[in-house]
Structure 1
């Protein structure tokens, strides 16, 4: 901030920006009836750069001085058109320049030069403390001359007040006592912990965390698992008083000025024309596995969630369990699924406890307050939780995830903290068969995986990968590896999608498309379903319709939903007479589909039902 310029000049700069971009919002706040509530005015730094460049530079380089001037300009603008201006109006600075100096994707990138500067931080909320009241100002009186001094608490030091040592009137008084008859001025205060995103880290790096302070209208606006962009001022916080010849205890913290969700929709201009091209783009270094990749894609996309008349939420997330011999690429599939999901957590069942999967109660060192630290399922809310070696989770720890997988919530009662957290995550898990042998048949499945039936029933699909001897498959696989992980028959026009493009497409169809079942799809599913698989079939049909970029789940989607469910039963040879492991991508997808569809219609006795697979079908209202 240029010291040669007067504060009034900056106020005029800010006023010019506010009148051009924020006038309607300030008038709206002035018309509100509640005078005690806190109100926010969003300040777009990029827009201010074009309208008031000097004010923008002052905010970026000296926010502690410029921010009070900005809020004073807001107050003056209120007073220009109302006799009753609101006192608690806050400038929420956002949209900082996307440069390394102001946008920090990793907490480990913070340096000493960033202290007292305005910056933005990307991360995930892992812990939220209780919303408390913080005393903002306190009045002291000089015992000598009775002069009153107003002291503001230092928010970077947990609201501590620096008691005056000398009277500003230059009297010899050095003793000051607080005024007890003055009511305290308090505001909301909350501490949360933000962890840097795993996707932005190098291999082997440990995710770091940072304390973020939320005040006034920002308090209690986020929960564990939220991906956020936080804009604020970076401070140092001393955890204990400075003592000579003693090591100091200092940490960095960010006082938030603005916080928002980072799940913004990204534009996607190219429509899907070939579903198999997308499936080939999933873990392209693995040859074939057409059925597995299709079911993984359907699980990542999920169905449409809704609330029944009683208000209970029916989950749309479709859980998948992969059971296979060692060396069948289960771990690679899980890692790639976590990579293409906008929000993901990858863990292993060996050594994992119920607290690591759900939440754990920890005591904050500075305040002694109990807080909840989010586990894998809470952090994956709205995304995918990939758990390798799922059978490695101990039996008494598995019970903690029953509610999280079915009701998509987590009821917590620890250390006096009673609450409910959302766990709307898709669970992709992988296990090796017990004893190295896969037993087929519905009654034998718990024996194969060593997982009890109640937990097993939470998975919509339990896919088995059986590594059988197959000379033709081994020849094709060896050719794929020797050709540099490119199938000999793959044309140049069939270039696979990049990871970023695939992630954008999956996120788009998952958030924007809400398909409904067509009459033909309802006929197929109602004729096929068993009671415990009804919801799973609907979810899988919805997810395949989304994969095909449609608003209606047709009979074609119903057939592939049935194929996915059949893959988890004793009829494991579903596609082309081969198991899920040895299922190559069909050279003629339509011909293969029609062959399987005729087989399904024949089994269900619907050959003469007149079901159409390719014509557009009107959705059924539900």
Structure 2
């Protein structure tokens, strides 16, 4: 029966809204508790109860939670957690602590469990930093990027204990909001004000204004760290600066990521008051992300970022079937820069560089690199930069830089002062950001010598040591180096030999393959190049025929080119799934070749009629092993066979060994005959004794004096060249006639 006042105006005090909100929180509390206690796996085990019990027994007070599990249990509750995490996440954490107390009962007397940290995992695809707008503030987000800097570990209060200066009474267990937010102390004493209200005890006037101070010994603190996240280089549009975001990580998420790691972050988009001298504080907010979970993509075995590329089950099946086809190496080499004519051996070498060998850990803890370094030396206009640009596109992780615009700190790492905290933090350079991929350095010869020296450790040990501003640490730079450089004289001068190269022997020996690319004048070859270039410009060339939807089953060793995206995914899949080793038969072939090269009785000498008794070192032996392993990795084969070893030896012969035999690498570490090296050292010592420091002498006079002593003029010229490059002898102005000894 309807009342007489139905439809009339009602008076509301606002308490109904608060009661509804409290009721909503109470319902959420009970549902969270039911979810944690009742969720089962496919084998009917209680997932979160078992994880909580195991972690608490091992003193690991955190709980990983899958958001999709909560969504299956109650979609409405999962949506509330997604839209209002600042309100519902504290309820979820309190429920986790209650369930943890239940599953660990009984415990020792007076033993209280610390607060359990929730690590939330979202199954959605991560967004870019450019997609995070103001309408997503205070909501759950998932983003990906590269960590470029990390602060030290600091402490932030979780609960405060305050004490009044006047009445000396405590105000215990004052909760502080998580994140970068602080706590504003009360202006008046709460205890004295309540006493004065009821007419007992002291009056409110007995306690001063701003009476409270913090008791540090009675506060509970949590560790936290500030990270700087940068967009992945491949996601930055051309001509724009990469965007950054500040990450707040606490408790068990601290020190989980280091500069150079590619991470996927789940967190709450938050804001804090802007603190700047140049703009008003009211209304200006600084955004940051309070992190709930961090997933690292390029650590240990999984260094290729395969999860970010999204390889589906169908593509995985297609890749495994493709790896069984004959001539996989030929197909991949033809797919590298199809718009560039010729250079088949260089393209095969780049294919080996993209896949890489196997990284090995020695019993004493030392790592042997599996990444292959390669350099292209030669004339301008031979498509070296185009090859580097293509590698940047098809490599799963790649950073492109130019030698002229790169410094030592930009390539390795730098230590800068944080503008907010005024403390020193590290920022990773190009080789740190390319961890697990390839760094392409164009115009390598335009770099300063001091900057090139800085990457010695990064190329061989694949680490970058920092000892600056009180920071002593080591960063990973597990990447391949693909460098391109021109001759000192512009075009390669056959009569100059090693004078075409303006590099120190130490940097050259760290490259596994060195190709000398020359612009050869051949009428037949020139016509073929012209026809190819013109067909590409007309739009009907080989580069324009690449079908992005082509099936890999239709590709053969004679025809067919893999699309760039499929090639990129295939490289990532092989690097992630395969770490081949060589069979004893393949190792025997490489061993015999190494011994014969040292003694000068190799098959290459019999074919070419040249003396190959060049004392190549263990570095060149390891380079051949890495190349053979990369050839096996292209086929997803667990072991490299004899054919891989022979092809690796052939690639080494047509690249580094061929350059050494033509005299282009004379003086480089490992490619100078030991007897000739002893003569060079003897001439250098005599030359330093012969001339007074600061004196001037003609180059021709030096050569004539030492020729009379029985030394070859070629050796004398080489010694002078080395001493000029090291700065021990300075030419007067630009002429090479008068020399001044330091």
Check if 1:15 corresponds to 2:6.
no
Structure 2 residue 617 is matched with structure 1 residue 531 = yes
Q: Deviations over 1:195-225 (max 9, x none)?
A: 0112122221211111101100000001111
SS of 1:435's equivalent? coil
TM-score (norm 2): 0.71
Matched-pair contact (CA < 8 Å) for 1:213–1:253: yes
Q: For structure 1, which segment, 193-202 or 496-505, has the greater mean C-alpha deviation from structure 2 after superposition?
A: 496-505
Q: Are the counterparts in 1 of residues 164 and 212 from structure 2 also a CA contact under 8 Å? A: yes
Distance in structure 2 (CA, Å) of the matches to 1:94 and 1:117: 14
Structure-2 change in CA distance of 1:489 and 1:388 (3 Å): closer
Match for 1:543 among 627, 630, 649?
Answer: 630
| 1:163 match | 185
| Partner Cα distance (1:236, 1:306) in 2 | 45
Q: Cα offset for 1:519? A: 3.4
Q: CA deviation at 1:539?
A: 0.7
Answer yes or no: is the 8 Å Cα contact 2:583–2:641 preserved in 1: yes
Q: In the alignment, is the contact (CA less than 8 A) between 1:461 and 1:567 conserved in 2?
A: no
Is the CA contact 2:55–2:62 (under 8 Å) kept in the aligned structure 1? no
Comparing 81-90 and 282-291, the one that deviates more: 81-90
3-state SS, counterpart of residue 199 of structure 1: helix
1:607 counterpart residue number = none
- Tell me if the contact between 1:521 and 1:554 (Cα under 8 Å) persists in the aligned partners: yes
**Bigger Rg, which one:** 2
Partner of 2:398: 344
1:147–1:287 CA distance, 2 compared to 1 (3 A): same
Cα offsets for 1:333-362 (capped at 9, x unmatched) = 112212222222111110311111111111
Cα separation, 2, equivalents of 1:570 and 1:30:
61
Say whether the 8 Å CA contact 1:125–1:224 is kept in structure 2.
Answer: yes
Q: How far off is 1:571 after superposition?
A: 3.2
Partners of 2:283 and 2:84 lie apart in 1 by 27
Cα distance change of structure 1 residues 420 and 336 upon mapping to structure 2, 3 Å threshold: same
**Cα distance in structure 2, aligned partners of 1:413 and 1:389:** 29
Mapping of residues 303-322 of structure 1, within 5 Å: 303-322=357-376
Which of 124, 129, 140 in structure 2 is aligned with 1:97?
Answer: 124
2:527 to 475, 490, 494: 475
Give the equivalent residue in structure 1 for 2:449: 395
Matched, 1:237 2:292: no
Q: How far off is 1:128 after superposition?
A: 1.0
CA distance in 2, matches of 1:548, 1:25: 41
Aligned to 1:486: 541
Is the Cα contact below 8 Å between 1:302 and 1:543 reproduced in 2?
yes
Counterpart CA distance in 2 for 1:178 and 1:294 is: 70
Name the residue aligned to 1:365: 419
| 3-state DSSP of counterpart to 2:465 | strand
Counterpart pick for 2:338 among 279, 284, 290: 284
Q: Distance in 2 between matches of 1:421 and 1:242?
A: 35
Q: Is 1:300 aligned to residue 354 of structure 2?
A: yes
Offset of 1:371 from its aligned partner?
Answer: 0.5
Distance 1:162 1:149, change over 3 A: farther
CA distance in 2, matches of 1:428, 1:367: 38
State the partner residue of 1:328.
382
Residue 485 of structure 2: aligned partner? 431
Conservation of the 8 A alpha-carbon contact between 1:38 and 1:216: no
Instruction: Give ranges in structure 2 of 5+ residues lacking alignment.
Output: 1-16, 195-203, 298-304, 548-553, 595-615, 662-742
Decide which of 428, 432, 437 is 1:378's aligned counterpart.
432
Three-state SS of the structure 1 residue aligned to 2:248 is strand
Q: Please state if 1:510 is matched with 2:529.
A: no
Deviation per residue, 1:215-256 (Å, 9 max, x gap): 000000011111111011111233527999679874221110
Aligned position for 1:558: 645
Shift of residue 476 of structure 1? Answer: 2.7
For residue 269 of structure 1, what is the aligned residue in structure 2? Answer: 317
- Which one of the candidate residues 108, 114, 122 is aligned to 1:87? 114
Aligned to 1:500: 565
1:194 corresponds to = 229
Render the CA deviation track for 1:388-446: whole Å, top value 9, x for unaligned: 111121011211111111111111100000011111111111101110233569x944x
Q: Deviations over 1:64-93 (max 9, x none)?
A: 001011112212322333324733311111
1:557 Cα deviation from its structure 2 partner: 1.0
Could you say which structure has the higher helix fraction? 2
Secondary structure at the counterpart of residue 246 of structure 2: strand
TM-fit CA distance, 1:471 = 2.7
CA distance in 2 between counterparts of 1:341 and 1:347 reads 15
Query: 1:57, 1:278 → 2: CA distance?
Result: 46
Query: Relative to 1, partners in 2 of residues 1:522 and 1:360: Cα closer, same or farther, differing over 3 Å?
Result: same
Q: TM-score when scaled to structure 1?
A: 0.84
Which of 506, 513, 516 does residue 464 from structure 1 map onto? 516
Select which of 202, 220, 225 maps to 2:260: 225
Quote how far apart the aligned CAs of 1:30 are.
Answer: 2.8
Q: How far apart in 2 are the matches of 1:440 and 1:565?
A: 21
Partner of 1:599: none
Give the Cα–Cα distance (whole angstroms) in 2 for the partners of residues 481 and 472 of structure 1. 15
Q: CA contact under 8 A between 2:306 and 2:572: conserved in structure 1?
A: no
Do structure 1's residue 63 and structure 2's residue 85 form an aligned pair? Answer: yes
* Residue 289 (structure 1) shift: 2.3
- Verify the 8 A CA contact 2:151 2:226 in the aligned structure 1: yes
Aligned to 1:602: none
Please state whether the residue corresponding to 2:381 is helix, strand or coil. coil
Residues 268, 292 of structure 2: 8 Å contact kept: yes
RMSD of equivalent CA atoms? 3.0
Residue in 2 that maps onto 1:153: 176
Residues 420-429 or 213-222, more deviating: 420-429
| 1:42 to 1:440, Cα distance in 2 relative to 1, 3 A | farther
Cα separation, 2, equivalents of 1:429 and 1:488 = 24
- The 2-side partners of 1:243 and 1:353 are apart by 32
Matched residue, 1:450: 502
